[in-house]
A = this chain, B = another copy of it.
Amino acid sequence: MVSEVKAQLELFFKNWFNKDRKPRQTGQKGLSIIGQRNRLQYIILGLLNQRSQTGYDLTKAFDHEIGEFWQAQHSQIYPMLKRMETDGEITHQDAVTGEKLAKKVYQLTHKGRQKLEAWISEPSPELTATKDEFILKLYFIRSADDPRIPAMIHEQVTLHQAQLDHLHLRMATVFPDQAAIDAAYGHYLILEHAIERETQYLAWLNRH
């Protein structure tokens, strides 16, 4: 179903769609450049645009700030930072914590900021699969009387309730007043969205 909607949307966005992809150059000497979409670089650009920070800080951000919507390990982040610096999108200053714990504080360059803005301004006509393992398992259960269903549902209620509690807590701490919302409106919107999504998920679970 996803591909059908996608095909439909391609009509509207054909100038943007596939925009970033360069053809593979089989049988030629030069290295072929760029295959997949590399969204990670844009997310890093966006995070660094909020404030200069280290690879370690970015790793934590993927865990605590945007883990609902993208995940990345430090083993993916550090090489990406190196590559982005080579490409001139970011630079770093060396800094030290305590006596001698070295760290690299990265920030955007002009080129990086432009790349970020260009990405944000692009259409996003793709529906990505959710990859919810529980949902897939459920899909394969034929009978409403299957004895495994109650425990499976209960496990997910525990999981998603914990997640929802966590999101509520973040909302209360990160956005205590209107000023906080005005200062990071997009962040507020996606947290609100995540809360609504978990609330709906739980309501659906509890109904069954």
Report the bound CA distance from A116 to B204 in whole Å. 25
* Number of copies of this protein chain within its complex: 2
Tell yes or no: A95 within 8 A of B by CB.
no
Residue of B nearest to A64 (CB): B1
Q: Contact at B183–A66, with CB atoms within 8 Å? A: no
Cβ–Cβ contact B204 & A66, under 8 A:
no
Q: Which residues of B contact A120 (CB under 8 A)?
A: 137, 140-141, 148
A116 to B144, CA, bound (A): 18
* A46-B140 contact given A4-B166, A130-B68, CB 8 Å threshold: yes
CB-CB contacts below 8 Å: A163-196 with B: 163, 166-167, 170, 181-187, 189-190, 192-193, 196
A56 within 8 A of B: no
